[in-house]
Amino acid sequence: MSAPNASADTGKPIAFVSAKQLRERMHDAVNDPHLRSSFRGAMDFLMAKRAAQFPDADELDSLRSLSEGIRQYSLTRLPDLLEQLEANLTRNGVKVHWAETPEEANAIMLGIAQRHQARLIVKGKSMVSEEIEFNHAMEAAGVGALESDMGEYIVQLAGEKPSHIIMPAIHQTKQQIAKLFAEHIPGVSYTDNVDALIQIGRRVLREKFEIADIGLSGVNFAVAETGTLCLVENEGNGRMCTTVPKVHIAITGIEKVVEKLEHVAPLFSILTRSATGQAVSTYFNMISGPRKANEKDGPEEVHLVLLDNGRSQAYADEQLRKTLQCIRCGACMNHCPVYTRIGGHAYGTTYPGPIGKIVSPHMMGLEQTHLLPTASTLCGACGEVCPVKIPIPELLIRLRGEAQSEPHANPAMVGQGAGYSGLTTFVWRMWARVYSRPGSYRAFSWLASRFRALAPKNQAGWTAARTPLTPAPRRLRDMVRDRR
Amino acid sequence: MSRPTHGAGHSARTYPPRPQAVYFYATCLVDLFVPEAGMDAITLLEREGIRVIFPDNQTCCGQPAFTSGFPAEAREVVAAQLDLFPEDYPIVVPSGSCAGMIRWHWEKVIGDDAGLAARAAAISARTFELAEFLVHVLDFKRPDQGEPTTVALHTSCSARREMGTLLVGRELLSRLGNVSLAIHDHESECCGFGGSFSLKHPDISTAMVTDKVASLKATGARQMVTADCGCMLNITKRAALEDQNAGRAAPSLPGEHLATFLLRRTGGKQS
């Protein structure tokens, strides 16, 4: 199956995606039967796995409440916690860097790479590194960046982007992966035996861990009180990346900090269960500094890059701040009827699905993303499964308003008003005038009913898939009145 | 009062004793597009000995503007509804999403005006979706007079998640002796209506409603029953187009509002 947007732009920096292009991507995706059936199957599987982890609705609800509370508490204290984190990491020997933009983050990391004359950086899975297009920035400067998470490795070989934040290659079939491996890995012939494919990947990556100069990783939770970076993973590649190379660079968004270790346990527990339906992940790494004098292994140098990239904008607004509660489990996309039908690539963002719709506008601006919040029925499946109770539908409505309102001074968001249409606004104003005046509404609905024969047979999007909507010959109020 | 966060099918709330009278808030969709459903709901309530008051000045709950990102326009319309319910009677709404709008969003939509917001909150507290009102307030039980049949139930997302009415819908059907319920595949998944979504994203909406129609049909049920007119129009008009394209004269998936179905099965209406 080809990726829905397997156009020239995959694997390259996210170029400006207009609303029109976004529509085309969504159209192509939803009409790709292969994509449809593979995402349906994968999402059904993940939903069932998650459900099996939460047999007790009350226990789930109390764990969600606790997790929401921890995230909100952490965000309320975010500025203090970040300072505390920096102080404790520094004390532990970790060098802390602050980056406001993707460019700054990449420049910091390229600087570290150049100082070490690094030729190869081996990477654990990190969505923030996707967000800043790290691989591209390194390769442009002549430094190799190799993904070591199996899914990310596949996506990188294919020259694509992840289509899911937890399972980046979920859109690829084993036959496609077999073909990719045979084409790209010297000495490998075609096999679609999954175990064999895993062994091939494992062998390739083993060598790379040995020769890599730098290991890069993400962070799931950064603990302020102890200066500890927690990393959740299943393949052991995260541990390899953070322990084998001489230098380890971790990168994360500024929102990932929590105050203390005891806050990590509930979040970790609900993260793995919500994400992959695992009671616990295979690996849980706690990184608290470089190798000490009496230690035999571990990196000699550890860096943490803290990235803003629009998060401060979300933080500044009490309602939008809830976006930052996210622990990146992906449950919202697994349960989203829209994501299930278009897959992750159609969104044109690093983070797809419901969370992508509410977080991307802060990272990329509404100019580029204003269509995303409209691509939802507000069914509420995402909010219902969110482990930290982010009110995603409420935020989608807020973003629709930010996008469509007339551009004004001091907006809460970059690109406010990008979806403004004078005509649409006029229509809603007229609607409000009619529907807030009972007399006008009665006249309007009487006309609509009386002249129902004039109802258009072509009702744009509606009649593309349905027979037309026609007002009834008599309104309910007529029936009620006639009965009296 | 916080919104229910998991859709197991019920939200805890206290129900009033059986009232003498109720206000019937029909919603704009019922008024103009599916008036029989509204009329059947009124008849159903009256047959239980309840006086039904239809405030003639009612228009719309404001949901279309609210969800489209036009809060000021929604506020204007909501504010015009606050005078409709002067007595302390329950307000019954034959549509899950409109009931959810009133119950969970009116107070917020009104915003800063404390006086109006308090009135909105008082209205929200006594607003009930029809099915929950029938089960929890009226304990609706009438003998089923129809032939044995199998139906599929579609519960709208708002009804399921905001009003917790999945179980009451099933309960009402289970009280009809000759009706068996067929659970369809991906039962809890959205039908793809979403108001303006169906117009703004027709491709995705079409994919969703096509899947919904297919899974409802696959149950072999004779018909679909739902308590939300938005979903009902979406699903039945999709099925109708499929019938039209296939040259079928009889509808392959007839749909009825739960009120109509209940009234018909219990002898209050001819088939």
Kindly list the residues from chain A whose CB atom is less than 8 angstroms away from the CB atom of residue B79. 436
pLDDT tens-digit readout, A228-237:
999 999 999 9
**Full set of structural domains in chain A with CATH:** 1-172+213-414 (3.40.50.10420), 174-212 (no CATH), 422-483 (no CATH)
How near does any CA of chain A get to the CA of B236, in Å? 8
* Residue B11: per-residue pLDDT: 59
The pLDDT-based confidence of A9 (bands split at 50, 70, 90) is: very low
The reply to whether residue B35 touches residue A476, judged by beta carbons under 8 angstroms, is: yes
pLDDT tens-digit readout, A90-117:
999 999 999 999 999 999 999 999 999 9
Cα dihedral: B225, B230, B234, B240 (round 10): 60
* Residue A208: per-residue pLDDT: 95
User: Shortest CA distance to B24 belongs to which of B45, B6, B1, B49?
Assistant: B45
* Residue B4: per-residue pLDDT: 46
Mean pLDDT of the region A409-424: 96
How near does any CA of chain B get to the CA of A238, in Å? 34
| Tokens, residue B4 | 């229910």
* Residue A397: per-residue pLDDT: 97
DSSP letter at B148? P
The reply to whether residue A404 touches residue B39, judged by beta carbons under 8 angstroms, is: no
Q: Calculate the average pLDDT of chain A.
A: 94
* Residue A19: per-residue pLDDT: 82
What gap in Å lies between CA A402 and CA B29, rounded to an integer? 27
Closest Cα in chain A to B59: A435
| Tokens, residue A464 | 């593309």
The reply to whether residue B26 touches residue A476, judged by beta carbons under 8 angstroms, is: yes
* Residue A2: per-residue pLDDT: 35
Residue B197: which of A26, A377, A389 has the nearest Cβ?
Answer: A377
* Residue B13: per-residue pLDDT: 85
The reply to whether residue A400 touches residue B69, judged by beta carbons under 8 angstroms, is: yes
How near does any CA of chain A get to the CA of B36, in Å? 7
* Residue B269: per-residue pLDDT: 84
Closest Cα in chain A to B34: A472
Q: Crossing angle of helices B258-265/B166-174, nearest 10°?
A: 20
Report the 10 Å Cβ neighbour count for A13. Answer: 11
* Residue A12: per-residue pLDDT: 41
DSSP letter at B137? I
The two counts, helices (H) then strands (E), for chain A are 22, 10
The reply to whether residue B80 touches residue A404, judged by beta carbons under 8 angstroms, is: no
The number of C-beta contacts closer than 8 angstroms across A and B is 198
- Disruptive mutation site among B6, B40, B155, B188 for chain A (greatest number of A CBs within 10 Å): B6
Closest Cα in chain B to A449: B32
Phi, psi dihedral angles at B57 (to 5 degrees)? -90, 5
Closest Cα in chain A to B10: A57
* Residue A111: per-residue pLDDT: 98
Kindly list the residues from chain A whose CB atom is less than 8 angstroms away from the CB atom of residue B58. 438
User: Do A325 and A13 meet the contact criterion of CB atoms below 8 Å apart?
Assistant: no
Residue B39: which of A403, A471, A479 has the nearest Cβ?
Answer: A479
User: Do B92 and B133 meet the contact criterion of CB atoms below 8 Å apart?
Assistant: yes
What gap in Å lies between CA A124 and CA B215, rounded to an integer? 41
Residue A384: which of B6, B74, B194 has the nearest Cβ?
Answer: B6
* Residue A1: per-residue pLDDT: 32
Kindly list the residues from chain A whose CB atom is less than 8 angstroms away from the CB atom of residue B7. 380, 384
Q: How far is CA A26 from the centre of its chain?
A: 17
* Residue A15: per-residue pLDDT: 54
Report the 10 Å Cβ neighbour count for A297. Answer: 7
pLDDT tens-digit readout, A438-466:
999 999 999 999 999 999 999 988 999 99
User: Shortest CA distance to B158 belongs to which of B41, B50, B27?
Assistant: B27
pLDDT tens-digit readout, A335-348:
999 999 999 999 99
The pLDDT-based confidence of B1 (bands split at 50, 70, 90) is: very low
What gap in Å lies between CA B208 and CA A30, rounded to an integer? 10
The reply to whether residue B238 touches residue A383, judged by beta carbons under 8 angstroms, is: no
Position A38 pLDDT exceeds 90: yes
Kindly list the residues from chain A whose CB atom is less than 8 angstroms away from the CB atom of residue B197. 374-378
Kindly list the residues from chain A whose CB atom is less than 8 angstroms away from the CB atom of residue B34. 472
Q: Crossing angle of helices A422-435/A438-450, nearest 10°?
A: 100
pLDDT tens-digit readout, B118-173:
999 999 999 999 999 999 999 999 999 999 999 999 999 988 888 888 899 999 99
The reply to whether residue A436 touches residue B199, judged by beta carbons under 8 angstroms, is: no
* Residue A476: per-residue pLDDT: 97
Residue B202: which of A449, A464, A474 has the nearest Cβ?
Answer: A464
Report the 10 Å Cβ neighbour count for B205. Answer: 30
pLDDT tens-digit readout, A166-201:
999 999 999 999 999 999 999 999 999 999 999 999
pLDDT tens-digit readout, A146-162:
999 999 999 999 999 99
Kindly list the residues from chain A whose CB atom is less than 8 angstroms away from the CB atom of residue B192. 337, 377
Q: Is the pTM of this model over 0.90?
A: yes
| Tokens, residue A310 | 């629009």
Handedness of CA A142, A136, A172, A385 (dihedral sign): positive
As its CATH architecture, domain B149-265 has: 3-Layer(aba) Sandwich (3.40)
What gap in Å lies between CA B201 and CA B191, rounded to an integer? 13
Position B180 pLDDT exceeds 60: yes
* Residue A16: per-residue pLDDT: 63
Kindly list the residues from chain A whose CB atom is less than 8 angstroms away from the CB atom of residue B189. 337, 379, 381
Report the 10 Å Cβ neighbour count for A159. Answer: 13
Kindly list the residues from chain B whose CB atom is less than 8 angstroms away from the CB atom of residue A341. 204, 207-208
Position A431 pLDDT exceeds 50: yes
pLDDT tens-digit readout, B4-50:
443 434 457 899 999 999 999 999 999 999 999 999 999 999 999 99
